Amino acid sequence: MKYFVTGATGFVGGVLAKRLREAGHEVHASVRDVNKAEDLKGLGVKLFRGDVTDKTSMREAMTGVDGVFHVAGWYKVGVKDKTPGEKVNIQGTRNALELMQELKIPKGVYTSTLAVNSDTNGKLVDENYHFTGKHISEYDRTKAVAHDIAKEFIAKGLPLVIVQPGLIYGPNDTSSLRAALRDFLHGRLPMLPSQTAFCWAHVDDIVQGHILAMEKGKVGENYHICGEPYKIVDAYKLVSQISGKRAPITVPYQIMKVMSVMMTPFDSILPESLSSYSSEGLRVVAGVTYWGDNAKTKRELGYNPRPVSEGWVETVKYEMNLLGMKSAN
């Protein structure tokens, strides 16, 4: 098969492109700078200069493919410049789906997120759940708008499947999760909020969920390709056991809610390196549960993500090895 992948230079998109090539598929990818995508070129991915914010630039790469994986997205929390959320998540999605429609691509998979449902307040919600309140972050909001755009295109007849990951981890993660893990290993992560929990899944399982959605997913359906619900404090207790370092102090999540209000006046002067401590950064970890039930995906697609106790442990050991640290067990 011949597939077009957006976001192939990113964490999930890069692993997806690699897995597709390993399976013998031809892969096209739009990249902003071809010279900075040597890893993809080495895999045999055919590179095209382009970007999701420029619809025309993707036309050649998408023409004649059997399927489209629209993975590209902007994921930042607490940063000052939030305009890429509108450009990449919203307009970029519209561009990719419009082009898919114009070129009559047989099938597409769009990468949404559980974050469109915001804080589920401890409830494990399924694909029928729809959040209508105010979103916690600009990332959540823009991805929710993009999710609705995808639904609109489906209603118009676009052969699209939507997948919704939760928290994604794994080797060479490019998100703030890896930065937090390194902070902990270097003794710079003093405290964590109680109750905060996400549905954790290894990047390889997330990629497998994308491939299953393309091969078996029903057009018009959305699937939670997330893993199991897991508290962030418990995840770092595992890190503590592996590294031998003392686990961060667990504080009542209400304290971080108060701190988020207190930090609001300082958002404009806070350095980008401390974006996690901005008012928005604190809100997204203050006792939230971004939870989704993956029962439908398991049942219909045969999805079977590994447990956190297996995948997260492997990831932590991988990171420690990169840092020249030895595990305690």
The β-bridge relationship of strands 228-231 and 197-202 is antiparallel
Query: What's residue 159's pLDDT?
Result: 98
Q: Are 56 and 31 in contact (CB under 8 A)?
A: no
Inside any domain, residue 262: no
289: β partners: 197
> Domain containing 56 — which CATH number?
3.40.50.720
Inside any domain, residue 170: no
Inside any domain, residue 263: no
Query: What's residue 215's pLDDT?
Result: 98
C-alpha closest to that of 281 among 82, 143, 28: 82
160: β partners: 108
Inside any domain, residue 66: yes
Q: What is the mean pLDDT of the chain?
A: 92
Q: What are phi and psi of 288, to 5 degrees?
A: -80, 155
Query: What's residue 35's pLDDT?
Result: 87
Query: What's residue 270's pLDDT?
Result: 62
Provide the number of structural domains found in the chain: 1
Q: In terms of residue numbers, what domain contains 297?
A: 2-165+200-226+293-302
Report CA-CA distances (Å) from 238 to 85, 147, 227, 234, 317: 33, 34, 17, 7, 11
Q: Are 147 and 116 in contact (CB under 8 A)?
A: yes
Report CA-CA distances (Å) from 21 to 3, 97, 123, 137: 10, 23, 38, 35
Residue environment code for 245-266, b if the CB has 16+ CB neighbours within 10 A, otherwise e: bebbebeebeebbebbeebeee
**pLDDT tens per residue, range 154-194:** 999 999 999 999 999 999 998 889 988 999 999 988 888 88
Q: What is the pTM of this model?
A: 0.94
Report CA-CA distances (Å) from 212 to 49, 58, 87, 226: 28, 24, 29, 13
The first and second tokens of residue 281, run together, are 């950064």
Three-state SS string over 139-183 comes to HHHHHHHHHHHHHHHHHCCCCEEEEECCEEECCCCCCHHHHHHHH
Query: What's residue 111's pLDDT?
Result: 98
- Residue-by-residue pLDDT tens, the chain, 329 positions: 999 999 999 999 999 999 999 999 999 999 999 888 999 999 999 999 999 999 999 999 999 999 999 999 998 887 778 898 999 999 999 999 999 999 999 999 999 999 999 999 999 999 999 999 999 989 999 999 999 999 999 999 999 999 999 999 999 998 889 988 999 999 988 888 889 999 999 999 999 999 999 999 999 999 999 999 999 999 999 999 999 999 889 888 777 776 777 777 756 756 665 566 667 777 777 779 999 999 999 999 999 999 999 999 999 999 999 999 988 86
The first and second tokens of residue 116, run together, are 């469109």
Inside any domain, residue 245: no
